[in-house]
């Protein structure tokens, strides 16, 4: 599919609190690519099965999200290219959509502070910390996409985020469709 695109598609993923939305928003400003926040789409279009009180979040219906977003909402935009998709998971997006899959990673004590400032407690805090410790999203990305497009990036500080945005901006500007 990338042969027909004139601009790349980038997936920014990682554990909650690693800076996905901040990085994606800064990257949009630097590149003029379109930001697609999957969490916002799920909430706006009620693509969930209610609320999980224990984890303090929506229960995502991945079949419904996949069917609705892939078939109805995003397929055409992704074929056009020029998108930055922002979501904490990646294994249900088609591999053909992305030219670069960025996995943001944050040191545990930094992530802990970010999540507790957001009000994460109990199982929600524990689950997200374990997800980062065991590099669940990096492994998910490596298992779902060609390893040559999976890019883990440190996201501990503002300087890290600035460096990541600069690196990804350069990559996007120099991107060439695959033949």
Domains and CATH numbers, the chain: 2-174 (3.40.50.300)
Kindly report the pTM of this predicted structure.
Answer: 0.89
Proportion of the chain above pLDDT 70, given as a percent = 87
Residue 22 CB neighbour total at 10 angstroms: 17
62 pLDDT more than 70:
no
16 pLDDT more than 50:
yes
The most confident of the ranges 38-42, 73-77, 92-96, 120-124 is 120-124
Predicted confidence band of residue 55 (pLDDT cuts 50, 70, 90): low
Mean pLDDT of 135-157: 97
């Amino acid at each position: 599919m990338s042969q027909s695109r004139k601009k790349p598609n980038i997936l920014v993923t990682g554990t909650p609190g690693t800076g996905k939305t901040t990085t994606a928003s800064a990257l949009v400003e630097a590149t003029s690519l379109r930001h697609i926040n999957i969490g916002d789409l799920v909430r706006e279009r009620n693509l969930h099965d209610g609320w999980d009180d224990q984890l303090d979040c929506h229960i995502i219906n991945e079949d419904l999200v996949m069917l609705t977003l892939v078939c109805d909402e995003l397929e055409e935009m992704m074929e056009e290219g020029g998108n930055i998709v922002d979501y904490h998971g990646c294994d249900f997006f088609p591999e053909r959509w992305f030219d670069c899959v960025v996995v943001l990673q944050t040191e545990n004590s930094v992530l802990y502070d970010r999540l507790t400032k957001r009000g994460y407690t109990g199982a929600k805090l524990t689950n997200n910390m374990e997800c980062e410790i065991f590099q669940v999203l990096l492994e998910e990305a490596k298992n779902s996409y060609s390893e040559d497009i999976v890019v883990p990036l440190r996201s501990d500080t503002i300087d890290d985020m600035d460096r990541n945005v600069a690196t990804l901006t350069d990559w996007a500007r120099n991107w060439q469709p695959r033949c």
